[in-house]
Structure formats: structure tokens, C-alpha cells
Structure 1
Amino acid sequence: MWKLTRPDNQHDKLTRDNLLDLQDHQLVRIESVQDDQRQVWVLTARGHQEAKRLLEPKGIRVSVLRREKYHPVTGALLGGSYDDHAAAVTSTAAELHRAGIGHRLGFQTEVAHRLGNGYVQRADLVMRAPASGVPVMLLEIDRRSEDAHDLVHKLRRYWQWGRMLPPGTDKYTADLARSRPDAIEHVDHEKRLWRRVYPPTGREGLAPVAFVFADTTEAKVANTVAVLEEAGRRYWAPRRYDTYHRGITARDYGQAVPVVVTTLEQLQEHGADAAVWRRLGHEGEVTLTAALDNSDGDALYRRQAARADAEEKQRRDAEREAQRPVCTRCGAKFTDERWEETSMRRRRWEAGDLGVCAACHADDVAREQAAAEAARAAAAVSAEPEADDGQEPGGLRGLFRRRA
């Protein structure tokens, strides 16, 4: 609570005094004390009602009331279950907030994600930090109380939830999604259920998931991450782009769940904004935004595809240039227009000699036109009648005159 509400304070006195004041007004109570003397504070029934009245009109969901439980024999107050886990979840949110990642009202715990079979996958923590480059991230806090394969099942459920369609989907899209198992991959993310719940991530793929390990050893973390990488590959791993281009090394993250891992101890020691996050499928630890970015994804593909298109165009142009005809008379290469004129059947009738270039063809046309003009002039001269001094024009008129 201290780190989450007052991250800049060097001690927790202010937070403790506020909790004590709330306790005096019967709004909060101490549920249990941890082994390290940390106290677990929860809302009373009165405090829970007050919190709902203040927060729910603002769209802030309040968790369920943790009721007091007493030992049936001794009557002693019993601490609630999952105290250590709840403390780890709150500490994770506090470390993220302390590093400037996410507003304190941008965190929600136990957020339900209902699958098609009715199963509800609850995220330990959901963070919305658009100002930090992480519009949404689902966090699972594991104190090694779960088997590694249980975490794989959680990852699978988040992947399945990201492929669901919302109620009221149009018939065409619904029929397309049911047509075959992978048809949902052709449905844009904007039409899926998860986009009605969370904002766009600004990156390819589904909503990212973070596994934060707490109160465990490095060896156990390494073993768990190895199982996540191997058994959960179908859900986090990118695919090859379906393209005719060659030499494309970029990967398609469009249907993958970005998964990052870290430990609560690293967050507390170095800060959540430090290089303490590792992306499954990548080596080394980087900052959170660097881990979520797909450096070998869509941006790289567009660059490589553009370069491949340019190289393909150059190759086709070179091949075409090598096939360009050469004039049999002067040795000049055909222009594109002359090449088209001699190649297209509907234009060959006016192309003349198919083996000569445009300039030589123009010379041929000029000579033909000159010869035709000369022939017409000669024909016109030979068609003129010879002069006759004693005969008037018009043969019939002369005949009639002789009869008279």
C-alpha cells in the first residue's frame, strides 16, 4: 500500500497513519501478519460498502469482500487464504507504479476472462499504462505454488480467449470463424472479443501476458521458464510469413501472445523500468517496452518486402532488357512503343518490317509516302488530254455541228 500510494516517500509512516485512521472509523482491519511482520489490511463490510459507493460510479471495480472467519473451537480470528500471494500481487503493482509504469488506478486484480466452455480464467493483475507504452498487460504472479504445466494451461486459455468472437457478431464473420479451426486467424482483431475489453496494444498479436515469479529460487524460475517456452510454443511463438518473397527473416506475430517473464525480487532491486524482463523466444533481459516490441515482426517484414519488391523489379527489368529486339538495319534497340507495336498482333498490320526500329520504320514510311506521291503526280500528268486547235471541247457538240 505504501509503495502503491506514495512511491516517492522514503518510509511508510503516512500510509500507516492513514490505515490506522481508517481502522478507527471501522473501515479497514488487519487480517493477518506475515512472517516478515508485514501486515495484511482488508476492508470491513462497512469499508467495502463505502468503497463501492465512491469508486464504482467512476468505473473502478471493487474486489469482493473478505469476510472475517473464526476458529470453530477457539474463536480466534483466522487469516484469509492466499495472503502471501495477494501480497505478492500488490507488491508487483507497487513496483510497477513506483517505476512510473501505470497509474495506481490503472491496476485491477482478479479480472475474469470467460471462455467459450464457461471456464473463467482470472488474471492476478491487469495493468493499463498507455503513457508508458503498455496500453494493457495481464500479469500472473507465481510463488511456485503451481506446477509449470499449470502456467502453460493458463497461457493456452489466454490464447483461446484472444481468439473468441464477441456476442452479436455478424453472421458472415461467425460462419467464417466456424468454417475451420484456423479461420479465426483471418478475422481482424478489431472484430474479436478481446478488443471490446482492452484497448489496442500498438503491437502485433494478442494482449501480452507477464509471469512474475516471487519467493523462489533462480533454478526453479529457470526450469519453469524452460517448460513455458517448450510446452507453450504454440501460443507465444511467431510464424513464418506466408509470402512469395525470398530472403524474408521477419516473423508474423499476428496470432501470438507476447509473453515476458521476471521476478519480484528483480523488480524490487533494480526497478520495473530496468532491464529485468525477458521475452520468451529471446535471449537476455531488456526493459519492458523493448521486450514487448517485435523487432523482427511486421516493421521488419515491410522493409524486407519492399526491398524484395525492388530487387524483383530490377531482375524483371534486366530480363526484359536482355530480350529487347535490336534493329537489323542500324543495330539500335527498339523503344518500348516500337517493341509493343511489333509484338501485338492487332498492331502488326501497320508495323511494317518487324525487324527494324522505329527510326528506320519511319524512314521506310517516308520513302513509301514519297514514292506514292511521285506515282500520283505521274499518273495525274499522263491523264491530261493533248491540245486540239480545231476542235472545241466536248466531242458530242462537235459531231452535232458537222451534221448541221
Structure 2
Amino acid sequence: MWKLTRPDNQHDKLTRDNLLDLQDHHLVRIELAREDQRQVWVLTKRGHGEAKKLLEPKDIRVSALREEKYDPDTGQLLGVSYGDHAAAVTTTAAELHRAGIGHRLGFATEIPHRLTDGYVQRADLVVRAQAAGVPVMLLEIDRRTEDAHDLVHKLRRCWQWGRLLAPDTDKHTVNLVRSQPGAIEDVSHEKRLWRRVYPPTGREGLVPLAFVFADTTEAKVDNTVKVLKEAGRRYWAPRRYGTYYREAIMAKDYSQAVPVVVTTLEQLQEHGADAAVWRRLGRKDEQTLTDALDNPDGDALYHRQYARAEAEDERRRAAEREARRPVCKRYGTKFTDQRWEETTAHRTAWKAGDLSVCGDCHTDDVARKKAAVEAARLQAATPPEPEPEPEHDQEPGKLRRLFRRRG
């Protein structure tokens, strides 16, 4: 509480005095003292009830009550080992808050996420920091008490929860997803359950998940991250876009992936949560949190590359079409689009005349044919000229001899 409420104070006297006052009123109790002499305080049943009255009307959820349970034989308080983990969770929240990532009332712990099989996956910490560019992020704090493959299972469950439909989804979509599980990938995130619980992330993909390792060695962290990267690839890795311009599109599709970042509590304490201490699975270098969550090779790049590829394809197809454009056999003139259409379309080719000539030549041909037809019509309509009269200067006798010889 001291680190979360007074992150800049070097001493915890003010926080301790307040806790002692709450203890006098039976609202809090000491659960255990850690090796570094720091004490872990928790709410009593009475204090838990008072906290719910104070916070829940303001839409601030209160974590589950830590009941006092004692071993019947030894009388020792049970469950105290949880304290080190709880302290690591609170310290992580304090470091985020100190870096300006989240208001101290914007943190929640042990938030349940129920799957269809009834299993409840709880997030150690949930932060909502819209002003810092992190509208929502789930955090798992690991003190290396869990096997690396257990963390992979947590990642898988977060991925599965992000694929659940919202309760008010239309019946057609519900039936489609039930019959074809892969169909959920075509369903908008606005129709999924996680969007009824958390705000939009402002980025592609599902709710981000951060693994914060504490009280461990660098070698163990590297080994765990390696397992997460390889065994959990299906859940965090982006895919290639399915597009006609596959060779030209290098952008990646993050729409169905869980963005996973990792760091250590020691790095947060030494450099600050706003420093380049976060490593995104699939990337080599450490980045600031917002840079690690951003997808510079994602949706925005895809739209730019697709637009360029489409324009280039349009230019290529135009060039290929131009190369196929017919040329007039008489004068070498290229066909216009209209003439090309006339000579190739079934509905117009039968009346396009000589298919090897351009539009101007075809127009001249049509004009000549019309002129020839008109000339023939006029000639047919003109009456024949009368035959010339026989000549009268010939002698009658000669004519008679002529006719007599023929007879």
C-alpha cells in the first residue's frame, strides 16, 4: 500500500500510521512479515465489507476476501506464502503508477475470466491507463513458482476467452460459430465478450497480456520466454494476410493474436515502467510499453502496401492491355476503345465491317458503301433515253433493196 499510494515517499511512516489506525478499528490485519521486514496487510471481513460499500458504487471492484485460516494441529496461519506473490503484484502496480501508467484506483487484482468449460482464469493484475496509451492490459506476476508450460496454458486461456461471443450475439452468428469454430475469426470484436468487459485497446488483436518475472535469474527468464515463444506461438503470433497481392504484402495480421510483452520487476524498479524494458514476443529488442504494444507492421502498413500493390497491378494490367490493342492494317493507327469493343463484342462484331481496320477507316468504308448504294438507286430510278430516229437522207430505193436482200 505504501508503494502504491505514496510511490515517491522514501519512508512509510504516514502509511504505517494510517494502517495502525485502521487496525485499531478492526478493518485491516497483518498477514505476515517478509524477510526484508516489510509487513503484508490485508482487509479483515469487516474492512472488506466497508471497502465494498465505499468503492463498488464507483465501479471499482474489490478483490476477494483473504480469510484467516489456521492449521488445526499447529495453529499456524495458512496461505501466508501468498504474501510474497501479493507483494510482487502490488509492487508491479506501484511501479506502473509511478511511471504514470494507470491511476492507483485503476488497478484491479485477481480478476476472473470464465471460459465455456467453466474454468476461471484469473489475472493477477489488470491495469486501465487510457491516458498512457494502455486502455487495458492483463498482467501475470511470476516469481518462478510456476512451470513455463503453465504460463503457456494461461496464455492459451486468455486467447480462448478473447474468442468468446457476447451474450447478446444474434442467433445466426452463435449457430455459425458453434458449427464452425474458425468462423469466430470473421466475427467483429465488437460482438465478443471481452468488449463487454474491457474498452477497445486501440490496436489490432485481443487484450494484451504481460508477464512480469520477479525474484529470479536472467537465465530462468530467458528459458521461460523461449518456451512461451515456441509453445505459445499459435496464440501470440500474427499471420500473413490472405490477399491476391501476397508477394507484395509484408504486413502482418494481428487481429486474432494476444499481444504478449515480458519484463522483470527488477527492471521496472531500476529503470521505471515507462522505460524501454518491455520485450514483445516475436521481437528482439526491448521497447517502451506503448511501442511494444503497437503494430507498425500491422493493419496500417497493410492498407498502404495494398493500395500500392493495387495501383501497380492496375498499371501492369493497363500496359498489358495496351500491348494487345489492335492496329489498323491500312494506316497503322491504334484502335480506340470504342472500336476495339465493336470488333470484339459478340453483339456488335457482326456489323463492325472489316475487323482489321480502325474506326475512321470503317467510317470511310461505310460512307463509300452508302454512296455506292445511293448511286445505284438513283440510276435505277432514272428513265432510259429514247432511241434515235432513223435517218431520212437515205434513198428509198436503197432501203427497199436492203430489206429485200434480208428477205
Return the TM-score normalized by structure 2: 0.88
TM-superposed deviation, 1:77: 6.3
Which range moved further: 196-205 or 92-101?
196-205
Residue deviations 1:270-297 (CA, integer Å, cap 9, x gap): 1111100001111110011111112222
Alpha carbons 1:352, 1:361 under 8 Å: kept: yes
Percent identity between matched residues is 77
CA distance in 1, matches of 2:96, 2:89: 11
* Partner SS state of residue 319, structure 2: helix
Residue deviations 1:377-399 (CA, integer Å, cap 9, x gap): 5556x25999xxxxxxxxxxxxx
Alpha carbons 1:212, 1:264 under 8 Å: kept: yes
For the structure 1 residues 163 and 74, does the alpha-carbon distance in structure 2 shift closer, same or farther, using more than 3 Å as the test?
A: closer
Which range moved further: 11-20 or 129-138?
11-20
TM-superposed deviation, 1:375: 4.9
Report what 1:279 is aligned to: 280
Alpha carbons 1:69, 1:80 under 8 Å: kept: no
Residue deviations 1:77-101 (CA, integer Å, cap 9, x gap): 6773400000000011111111011
CA distance in 2, matches of 1:310, 1:63: 55
- Read off the aligned partner of 2:46 and give its amino acid letter: R
Report what 2:224 is aligned to: 224
- Read off the aligned partner of 1:105 and give its amino acid letter: L
- Read off the aligned partner of 1:240 and give its amino acid letter: R
Root-mean-square deviation (CA), in Å?
A: 2.2
CA distance in 2, matches of 1:74, 1:336: 96
CA distance in 1, matches of 2:11, 2:368: 103
CA distance in 2, matches of 1:57, 1:168: 25
Report what 1:400 is aligned to: none
TM-superposed deviation, 1:170: 2.5
TM-superposed deviation, 1:184: 2.1
Alpha carbons 1:185, 1:255 under 8 Å: kept: yes
> How many aligned residue pairs are there?
385
For the structure 1 residues 329 and 47, does the alpha-carbon distance in structure 2 shift closer, same or farther, using more than 3 Å as the test?
A: same
Alpha carbons 2:64, 2:110 under 8 Å: kept: no
Q: 5 Å matches for 1:2-21?
A: 2-21=2-21
* Partner SS state of residue 342, structure 1: helix
Which range moved further: 25-34 or 66-75?
66-75
Report what 2:354 is aligned to: 353
Whether 1:304 and 2:309 are equivalent positions in the alignment is no
Return the TM-score normalized by structure 1: 0.89
TM-superposed deviation, 1:17: 3.1
Structure showing greater radius of gyration is: 2
Unaligned ranges ≥5, structure 2: 387-407
CA distance in 2, matches of 1:71, 1:373: 121
TM-superposed deviation, 1:265: 0.5
- Read off the aligned partner of 2:257 and give its amino acid letter: A
Which range moved further: 241-250 or 365-374?
365-374
Which range moved further: 312-321 or 368-377?
368-377
TM-superposed deviation, 1:8: 4.2
Report what 1:51 is aligned to: 51
Unaligned ranges ≥5, structure 1: 387-404
CA distance in 1, matches of 2:155, 2:76: 39
Residue deviations 1:213-259 (CA, integer Å, cap 9, x gap): 00111011011101111111111111222222123222221211111
Alpha carbons 1:135, 1:201 under 8 Å: kept: yes
Whether 1:196 and 2:191 are equivalent positions in the alignment is no
For the structure 1 residues 348 and 20, does the alpha-carbon distance in structure 2 shift closer, same or farther, using more than 3 Å as the test?
A: same
Q: 5 Å matches for 1:316-395?
A: 316-375=317-376, 382-383=382-383
Alpha carbons 1:31, 1:79 under 8 Å: kept: no
CA distance in 1, matches of 2:384, 2:94: 114
